[in-house]
Amino acid sequence: MGISDVKQHHTIWTPELVELSMPLAGIARRCVARIIDQTVLAGIYVVLIIMAVMNIFHNYTASVLVSLVLFVLADFIYFWAFHAFMNGQTPGKKLLGIRVVTPRGGRINLVTSLIRSLFNIADVMLFAGGVSSLMILGTEQEKRIADFAAGTIVVRDR
C-alpha cells in the first residue's frame, strides 16, 4: 500500500443521508511530511543564522535574540500561510498527498489556520511534538493538540 496502511476514516453524513468517507492521514505520512517541511524551514534558519553570524544587528546578544524570534516567526508564517492559502497543504503534505480540512471536509480558513499554527508553535516549544505524536496514535480521529484547538483533521487526498 504505501507509506502507511490507512485503517481509519472520517465519516460525514450529508443532509440527504449520503455517507462520505475520508481516509485519515496516519502518523507515518504526517511525520514524513513534517520532516520535509522542517527541511525547507532549515534553509530559512540557515539564512537567519548567517545574518546573526555576520552580525547584521551589531550586537551579539541582540543578534541571537532576534534570530530566535525570527525562527519562531518563520515557523509560524510557513505553516499559517501554506495551510491558509494552499488548500491546507504545506510542501511536505502536498508531496505525501495529505491535507488539513474541517470536520465536514472543507477548506480551512485564515482563522483556523492561525489557531492551528499558534498551537503548533506551543506544541513544538513545550513538548517537542511528543505529546502530539501520542495523541495522533491514541485518538480515534488521529488529532493532535493543534487539530483539537482549531477543529481540524488531516486526511489523505484521493
Residue 3 in domain = no
Q: What is the DSSP letter of 107?
A: P
pLDDT at 56 (0 to 100): 60
Q: Where are the beta strands (DSSP E) in 14-87?
A: 19-23
* Whether the Cβ atoms of residue 147 and residue 132 lie closer than 8 Å to each other: no
Residue 74 in domain = yes
Q: Which domain holds residue 95?
A: 9-156
Residue 4 in domain = no
Residue 149 in domain = yes
Strand partners, 99: 155
Tell me the pLDDT of the chain (158 aa) as tens digits.
Answer: 444 444 686 666 666 666 677 888 888 898 899 999 999 999 988 887 787 777 665 667 777 777 788 888 999 999 999 999 999 999 999 999 999 999 888 899 999 999 999 988 887 777 676 777 777 777 777 888 888 899 999 999 87
Residue 91 in domain = yes
pLDDT at 96 (0 to 100): 95
Residue 1 in domain = no
pLDDT at 1 (0 to 100): 43
Residue 2 in domain = no
Q: What cell does 91 get?
A: 510542501
Indicate the number of domains in the chain. Answer: 1
